[in-house]
Structure 1
Amino acid sequence: MKHYFITYRPFLQFLGIFLFSYLILIMSYQFYLGQYDFANYEVDYFTDLVARQTQSFLTFLNYSIVLYDSTHDPSVVVQIEGTPLVRIVEGCNALSVMILFASFIMAFSKGFVKTAGFIAAGLLIIHVLNVSRIGLLTIGIMNFPEYKHLLHGVVFPLIIYGIVFLLWILWITKFVKNDSKNNPA
């Protein structure tokens, strides 16, 4: 049995750090969400921030946007030219995607500064991409309402998860592998 722990130590170490990081971050996120009264349709701060930044993005693209809190659920409704098009809910803020991203990077940590820097840059990329994604999704639904489910359920999740996957590959190939080559065990 000890032989297997020694043989698979790198994988087990990765798995342990990933799970520990993920659990700590998810529990922290749940604690953060627990401060809001979702039963009374209260929208959390970060989701509201994403909605306001989406409004700025769409305003920059010359759309007339109105945001308002939903009276049916904890969400922010995006309205263009008098038509409510999308609801931005807690799941749209991409924090769960960011937690998954950061946990993976921490599991392949290569020093605090390098790891923290890459996580910070990655979180910024994911956030900007997410705000752009919601804005473009809103425009897509406005222009092609018949493709709402395809855009929301397939195209845009594929883009955001695809970028996260590419960031993971970049981290492993450019930082982890290069560090291994420069510092053989």
Structure 2
Amino acid sequence: MKELFVKYKTVVKFILTFLLVYVLFSGLYHFYLEVSEGSKFYPDYLTHLVAKQVEALLNTFGYNTQVLPHPDEPSMKVIVNGNYLARIIEGCNAVSIIILFMAFIIAFSGKLKITLFFIFSGSVLIYTVNLFRIAILCMALYHYPEHEKILHGVVFPAIIYGMVFLLWVFWVNRFSSLKKKHE
């Protein structure tokens, strides 16, 4: 058994680091969600902010958009030209995806400055792409409501997770200390 740990030390270190960071950041995020209950921002500040930014984007693209608190559930209703199209829930704010991204980068860390810069810039990119993803999804739902399942369930998750995967591949190939050890 010890031989396996020695042989796969790098893999075991990656898995343990990834899990530790992911659980830690997820726990902190869960704590944030509990603390934010009952605040003036509904359902929580980050989800509320995403909803308002999507509203601004859609209005910029020429869609008469309102984002209102949902009366029956913790979400924000997206109303375009008087049509209730979608709801923005806590899972739409990209925080969970950013946590997943950060855990991977930290588990494959490189030099501290570069790692921190990549985490910051990657998180900003994920957040920004997520805003455009939600806005484009709303526009697509407005024009093609019959394709809701494929748009929401396949196409748009593939965009955000595909981008995160490409960021991971770029990180491992360019900056990870693991790559330097094997060269």
TM-score (norm 2): 0.93
Tell me the CA shift for residue 57 of structure 1. Answer: 1.1
Tell me the CA shift for residue 179 of structure 1. Answer: 5.9
Partner Cα separation in structure 2 for residue 68 and residue 42 of structure 1: 9
Tell me the CA shift for residue 55 of structure 1. Answer: 1.0
Partner Cα separation in structure 1 for residue 84 and residue 20 of structure 2: 41
User: 1:136/1:166 Cα in 2 relative to 1: closer, same or farther (>3 Å)?
Assistant: same
Q: Give the 5 Å matches for 1:93-108.
A: 93-108=93-108
Tell me the CA shift for residue 138 of structure 1. Answer: 0.3
Give SS of 2:84's match: strand
Query: Residue 90 of structure 1 corresponds to which residue in structure 2?
Result: 90
Partner Cα separation in structure 2 for residue 119 and residue 139 of structure 1: 30
Tell me the CA shift for residue 14 of structure 1. Answer: 0.5
TM-score (norm 1): 0.92
Query: Residue 139 of structure 1 corresponds to which residue in structure 2?
Result: 139
1:105-124 Cα distance to aligned partner (Å, 9 max, x none): 00001122111100111101
Query: Residue 65 of structure 1 corresponds to which residue in structure 2?
Result: 65
2:105 and 2:168 in contact (8 A); partners too: yes
Partner Cα separation in structure 2 for residue 37 and residue 108 of structure 1: 34
1:70-94 Cα distance to aligned partner (Å, 9 max, x none): 0010011111111111100001111
Percent sequence identity over matched residues?
40
2:36 and 2:44 in contact (8 A); partners too: yes
User: 1:17/1:178 Cα in 2 relative to 1: closer, same or farther (>3 Å)?
Assistant: closer
Partner Cα separation in structure 2 for residue 42 and residue 129 of structure 1: 22
Partner Cα separation in structure 1 for residue 20 and residue 4 of structure 2: 21
Query: Residue 46 of structure 2 corresponds to which residue in structure 1?
Result: 46
Residue type of the partner of 1:28?
L
Residue type of the partner of 1:124?
V
Query: Residue 32 of structure 2 corresponds to which residue in structure 1?
Result: 32
Partner Cα separation in structure 1 for residue 149 and residue 135 of structure 2: 16
User: 1:46/1:171 Cα in 2 relative to 1: closer, same or farther (>3 Å)?
Assistant: same
1:6-60 Cα distance to aligned partner (Å, 9 max, x none): 111100110111011001000001000111338xx94010000100111111111
* Deviates most, 50-59 or 21-30: 50-59
Residue type of the partner of 1:116?
L
2:94 and 2:130 in contact (8 A); partners too: yes
Residue type of the partner of 1:87?
R
Query: Residue 149 of structure 1 corresponds to which residue in structure 2?
Result: 149
Query: Residue 176 of structure 1 corresponds to which residue in structure 2?
Result: 176
User: 1:21/1:177 Cα in 2 relative to 1: closer, same or farther (>3 Å)?
Assistant: closer
Q: Which 5+ residue runs of structure 2 have no aligned equivalent?
A: none
Residue type of the partner of 2:135?
G
Query: Residue 23 of structure 1 corresponds to which residue in structure 2?
Result: 23
Partner Cα separation in structure 2 for residue 36 and residue 123 of structure 1: 22
Q: Which 5+ residue runs of structure 1 have no aligned equivalent?
A: none
Work out whether 1:117 is the aligned partner of 2:117. Answer: yes
Partner Cα separation in structure 2 for residue 178 and residue 70 of structure 1: 47
Residue type of the partner of 1:142?
Y
Give SS of 1:86's match: strand
Residue type of the partner of 1:82?
G
